Chain A
Amino acid sequence: MKNRLLEFVVAVSAVALLSVTTTAGAGTLEDVKKRGVLRCVVSTGVAGFAYPDKSGVWKGFDIDFCRATAAAVLGDSKKIKAVTSTGKTRFTKLNANEGDVLWRNTTITFSRDVGVKLRFHGVNYYDGQGFMVNKKLGVKSAKELNGASICIQTGTTTELNLADYFHANGMKYEAVPIETNDEARQNYVGGRCDVYTTDASGLAATRSTFSDPNNHIILPEIISKEPLGPATRHGDDQWSDIVTWVYYATVTAEEKGVTQANVDKMKSSKDPEILRLLGVEGAQGKELGLSKDWAYNIIKQIGNYGEIFERNIGVKTPIGLSRGLNDLWTRGGLQYAPPFR
């Protein structure tokens, strides 16, 4: 009788703690395949990079890379789940296994790589911190900003770069730290700040939301390197390889002229590297632990690097960013993928 009761209590508490699960020791790849869904840690909303559309479907540059990963691993780019996180909680979410991979425009730094114990895989967007000012101020260079009020988005590397830059140049400034982009925008438009500083991509995105975008200029100085890239947990090399090569596959595809539209035709290309990329020859997919056509799925469903870029943040979008540093190395940019062989 007592035992029955005990059993009952145990059963009830087990049901109550239904969602408490212990992670299996297996690798992330097996976990993802078993689950059938890829969980990407993303931001709660950065224009062009990650935002929900009208029906709650996540879109953006980072999201497309998340989808590309899902296409490679699961064969279906729709099988993703966006785990939203703020700047403060993103690493803990990844470390606590609440997500499989972090695609959340995160700057790669020494302390994050080594101190926070993450593994970074290449740079899918080269950014840098810039300044935006109103043309009326007549400022042409960041060196003329002595004494200005500057809006910064906190919780990032931005405030450190800013402090270092002004300290190094012997200038003073008033820091106005802001948590969200909307608040920062309001501060800047209202004239609370003379300058708005954040990653150059963010500046362009914010400027596009003004009623008078042409009255604002982004100063030529880029005061920091902000290499943004995906991250995974320490200690799962197979999974790390997959994330790394998903990114490289998109770059290689662009370099080789493989696009969403012509990928089927390219399967009969004469270039052996394209054939290896698309899984017609060689066994790259198997070595990664994926299907043969993993990269084909990426290109077919999501597109190559250039297409992802142009679709989400390129010149024709409201964000209106030019490729710049993010152009292929063959066109003077920094996007350079190791060969597929």
Chain B
Amino acid sequence: MSDTAKTYKIGQHPDLPPPRTEVGVLGWFKHKLFSTPLNIALTLLAAWFLWSVIPPLFEWIVLDSVWTAESRKECWGKMEVPEGGACWAFIKDRLELFIYGFYPAPQRWRVNLSFVLLIMAIVPVLYDKMLARKFGLWYSVAFPFIAGWLLVGGFGLTPVETDQFGGIMLTLIIGVTGISFSLPIGVLLALGRRSKMPVLRIVCVMFIEFIRGVPLIALLFIASTMLNYFLPPGTVFDLLLRVLIMVTLFSSAYIAEVVRGGLQAIPNGQFEAADSLGLTYVKAHLLIILPQALKISIPGIVNTFIGLFKDTTLVLIIGMLDPLGIGRASLADAVWAGLAREVYLFIALFFFICCFSMSRYSLYLERKLHTGH
């Protein structure tokens, strides 16, 4: 106030605070929401969109939902309008089925243990600052085999047939196996595609382009029905194993393309330097080229894995019961039938949580790698 009355020497006047409309809440509103006519229109449009979508959705999912009931009838009876809210009691009732599938109840500790081991296996991959990371990584590599033994059994554990697998557990099995085995195969394919040997190159290109050119459901269908024609008569081949092989091959073709991009980004000087050191092809790649190329391709690889994880829902087309399949099978129970929306929403949420965290991680890596250069 009194500042205005004071007199200053020229050039000595202290900075005035910016006008009130430019800073604080008002300024934020002005700059972030209402800066130009186009922006005002966009703001209003977005606000209208949010207003018309979120409150009814919130009401249906949370406010009017029913959490405890024994049947659909009871659920709908508890609402003001039948179907006016979500009936989460159904999901609650079937939660174990959604998680474990048909895994025998007394053996479920093995699934739980595998979940825990999985988390422990992921940590060394994610955090490079972990203590004794090298051992951790060896454990991560060994994890699929450990988990495989735990879940399938044998060697001291009660064997569980793979067609008892289902639900979220099945999704994780397919996802994790696809992820861990497709990476080495993908790297080999990428190297093959860049090889100077024409036969090898052509074979790899044909394989990659074939796999990338056809939909996964067609491949899964081949795995489930046509593989019997390709094998010697009388061979019975576990369905889950067939699906795992197909999924692995499928994602390895995509990984190959991502890794190829990484390899292309390595300057020629690196290859030449390795050659001039007298390193063999294998050593040069293991020590010089691949560590750099893989580092660049990590975000792409994570994105491929997200895609793979989402695609695991397609196994329901060949009669395997992933969460979506379990949901549909449960909907055939006359006590609950008709609650498809709840099932779909629940599964969407599950996938969103898994894939969103993976994509956040990939983003974090991207930033970290970006500053590393």
Contact = CB atoms under 8 A, between A and B. Distances in A.
A98 B241 CA distance: 14
A47 B333 contact: yes
A45 B225 CA distance: 20
Interface stretch (B14-22, B43-51, B206-214, B311-319): B311-319
A54 B328 contact: no
B161 A45 contact: no
A53 to B, nearest CB: 7
A263 B163 CA distance: 35
B162, B225, B239, B334 — most chain A CB neighbours (10 Å):
B334
A157 interface: no
A19 B340 contact: no
Interface stretch (B28-36, B96-104, B131-139, B350-358): B96-104
B248 interface: no
A86 B72 CA distance: 26
Given A52-B102, A185-B338, A209-B334, A20 B328 contact: no
Interface string A60-90: 0000000000000000000001111110110
A245 B341 CA distance: 43
B248 to A, nearest CB: 13
A85 B321 CA distance: 10
B96 A22 contact: no
B346 interface: no
Nearest to A60: B332
B236 A45 contact: no
Interface in B297-350: 316-321, 325-326, 328-335, 337-338, 340
Given A20-B236, A84-B321, A55 B338 contact: no
Given A21-B236, A89-B318, A92-B228, A47 B334 contact: yes
Nearest to A211: B82
Contact of B319 (A47, A89, A208): A89
A318 B71 CA distance: 11
B332 A181 contact: yes
B330 A51 contact: yes
Contacts of B239: 98
B341 to A, nearest CB: 9
Given A44-B319, A84-B325, A89-B319, 19 more contacts: A21-B235, A22-B236, A23-B236, A45-B332, A46-B332, A50-B332, A51-B332, A56-B100, A85-B319, A89-B318, A92-B224, A97-B236, A181-B331, A186-B340, A208-B334, A208-B337, A211-B76, A211-B338, A318-B335
